[in-house]
Amino acid sequence: MQTRGKYAQEIFLLSIFFLTSNTMMAQEICNNGKDDDGDGLIDLQDPDCQCHFTVTNNLLLNGSFELYNHCPVIYTYDSNYNAAAFWQYGTYSNEADYYHNLSCSYDSARIMLQMPPTLPLPSGKGFVSILNSAYIDPIPENQMAKSYVAQCLQAPLKPGEQYTLSFYAGRFRSWDNLTGKIFPFTVAIFGNTNCSAVPFGRPNAIGNGCPLNYPGWVLLSKTIVHSEGEWIQSKISFTVPSEINVIEIGPDCSILPPIVDLTDSTTFLDYHIYYLDDLNLLPTKDFPFEYIHAEVGSGCNGNGIPVLQAPLFANATYQWYKDSVAVIGATGTSWQPPDVTGKSYYNVLISSPGKCVITEPFLVAPSGLNKLNLPTDTVLCSNGSLLLAPSIDGLTYIVNGIMSADVTIQKQGSYNVTATDTYGCQKKFTTTVVEQNCSDCEASVPNAFTPNADGLNDLFKAKLSCDFSEFDLQIFNRWGEKIFESHNSSAGWDGTYLGNKMLPDVYVYFIHYKTASHATKTTRGTVTLIR
């Protein structure tokens, strides 16, 4: 029985070896729209298809962790928190081995045994490890063990400016992981005005959670990294909300689900830990990013989809991607997406001798001009205002030579309106507005309603004190999404959208109607949904 068990174990390990080997042998092809290596990632979604870039004038000191004050010892906060020059441990809880350097023999032997990174490292011999613990039994997030690296900056990040953090990150198979499955992970950057906010949390605590549990910290941005046992170059871009003098980099404030891998209800070491190296922080404008441009006025028919122009490089080949998946046959320096109704992001992979570039994502969406129709003549009620054209994302207006976000009329006259979208397409209108006394017809609307099916105040609707020939009621949520529309004044809103009950909140309404005297009136305001 013992021999049979040993034989079965060998067969099991051999099966895993062949499964892993076959998976490793598959190679992702980056321009065929398929998942060739079976990792669930297609084309540019796969790290195998990413290009790499280099930068200069780093705002971070010792961004590749090559300079160190001493080799790691004992792996406690007091002995190890400032091992890497200019960096320190972000929180008092010290569950990860923070700093590593392959020149340090003890550290090299320990890390190479437990969870070795792929060599060579992205830069030099130093790197850091980041911990994000998962728990079988739930505990508060502010007690969870998470680790961060922090640096007090030489000069503050300026409010309103955009910055980018680039880095290499990797999650590698640990000694206890026989399945070969490695999960994605999150890299986040936090900021604070006060350098003395580092470290945060309680000394000697098992865990202190993320920085947002403590005064002054803000989440600047975060990204998800997919690493199947390799170093992946990634980046995070953000706009600074207020002056930032110190940053921390590590997990976000979410809670990892427990994934039971072993019979003793624990998870593999590599589920909790990932590595970082070669960190660079610069103003976004100083990064070597390349951008797609829309040819102005090229997409003024149909849904207004423009011709896209890639950056031009000598002796280069081009491949276009829609939402990171290759567009088969789109291999020119320019390309016009089909006339579709939805939104998509487009990139170009540009390859030339000694150079690989992936452009930044370019959002393509149907032009807002398609939604716009202005009357040739209309009526303005005395002592009122008339909304001729609402604010629409991606549109700007010029009204009688003056730029405006919408077209609101305050007095009678002739108005020349030019609407322009982000692609340079235009629509022009001339509208004559005549002022009239509209006091004979007013819309009465409640400021709150309670759609709880008790027969009382269950619907939000308008009551008109006159005869009218046209009617339109529109309801929008706080993000500008239209969730209800009706041309029947007696059919009000019941507080649902697509069959789902909407949450208690404040919603915006627009009511348009035409009176018997042919005056077009608009009433707008807010209504509170109460449950």
Residue 45 resides in a domain: no
Could you tell me if 169 and 270 lie in one domain? Answer: yes
Question: Is residue 447 in some structural domain?
Answer: yes
Contact call for residues 47 and 227 (beta carbons, < 8 A): yes
User: Does one domain contain both 163 and 141?
Assistant: yes
Are 376 and 329 found together in one domain?
no
Same domain, 200 and 59: yes
Strands 334-335 and 325-326: unpaired
Q: What is the pLDDT, as a whole number, of residue 19?
A: 35
Residue 121 domain flag: yes
Residue 345 domain-assigned (yes or no) = yes
pLDDT digit string (tens) for 235-275?
999 999 999 999 999 999 998 877 665 544 456 666 788 99
Last residue of a domain, one of 268, 286, 304: 286
- Mean pLDDT, the chain, as a whole number? 84
213 vs 517 pLDDT, higher one: 213
Residue 517 is predicted with a pLDDT of 62
Mean pLDDT of 5-13: 33
Residue 285: predicted pLDDT = 92
- Judged by average pLDDT, the poorest of 89-103, 137-151, 317-331 is 89-103
Separation between Cα atoms, residue 121 and residue 279, nearest integer Å: 13
Q: How far is CA 219 from CA 187, 209, 214, 215, in A?
A: 11, 14, 12, 12
DSSP classification of residue 484: E
Do 119 and 161 lie in one domain? The reply is: yes
pLDDT beyond 90 at 114: no
Q: For residue range 337-391, what is the model confidence (pLDDT) as tens digits?
A: 887 778 888 999 999 888 889 998 888 888 888 878 888 888 787 777 888 888 8
pLDDT at 13: 34
Question: What CATH number has the domain bearing residue 492?
Answer: 2.60.40.1220
- Tell me the pLDDT band of 24, cut-offs 50, 70 and 90: very low
Tell whether 33 is covered by a domain.
no
Strand partners for 282: 164
Q: CB neighbours of 41 closer than 8 A, spacing ≥ 6?
A: 28, 35, 47, 226
Q: Which band of pLDDT confidence, cut at 50, 70 and 90, is reported for residue 75?
A: low
Claim to verify: residue 451 and residue 419 sit in the same structural domain = no
Decide if 474 is inside a domain.
yes
CATH number of the domain enclosing 393:
2.60.40
Which amino acid is located at 193 in the chain?
A: T
Per-residue model confidence (pLDDT) at position 267: 60
In this structure, the answer to whether residues 372 and 360 fall within a common structural domain is: no
Q: Which range of residues forms the domain containing residue 244?
A: 54-286
Least confident of 15-29, 34-48, 123-137: 15-29
Based on the fold, state whether residues 355 and 377 are members of the same structural domain: no
Say if residue 84 is in the same domain as residue 194: yes
Match 């789902």 to its residue by tokens: 500
- Asked if residue 372 and residue 360 are part of one domain, the reply reads no
For range 20-28, the mean pLDDT: 56
Last residue of a domain, one of 233, 262, 286: 286
Is residue 184 within 8 Å of residue 270, measured between CB atoms?
A: no
The size of the chain, in residues, is 531
pLDDT in tens, 441-460: 778 888 999 998 877 888 99
Count: domains in the chain: 4
Q: In what order do the strands lie in the sheet with 413-420?
A: 377-381, 426-436, 413-420, 396-399, 402-404
Q: How confident is the model at residue 321 (pLDDT cuts 50, 70, 90)?
A: very high
- pLDDT of the residue at 35: 92
Query: What pLDDT sits at residue 261?
Result: 54
CATH assignment at residue 190: 2.60.120.260
Strands ordered across the beta sheet of 99-101 = 99-101, 126-131, 273-283, 162-170, 232-239
| pLDDT of the residue at 241 | 95
- Burial label for 477, CB within 10 Å (0-12, 13-18, 19+), is middle
Residue 182 falls inside a structural domain: yes
Considering only CA atoms, which of 288, 289, 279 is closest in space to residue 60? 279
Q: Are residues 463 and 500 in the same domain?
A: yes
- Which of 364, 379, 410 is the C-terminal boundary of a domain? 364
pLDDT tens per residue, range 465-475: 677 778 999 99
**Residue 492 belongs to a domain:** yes
For residue 107, what are its two tokens? 């550290």
Q: Within 10 A of 353 (CB to CB), how many other CB atoms are there?
A: 8
Q: Are residues 60 and 134 in the same domain?
A: yes
Residue 138, pLDDT score: 80
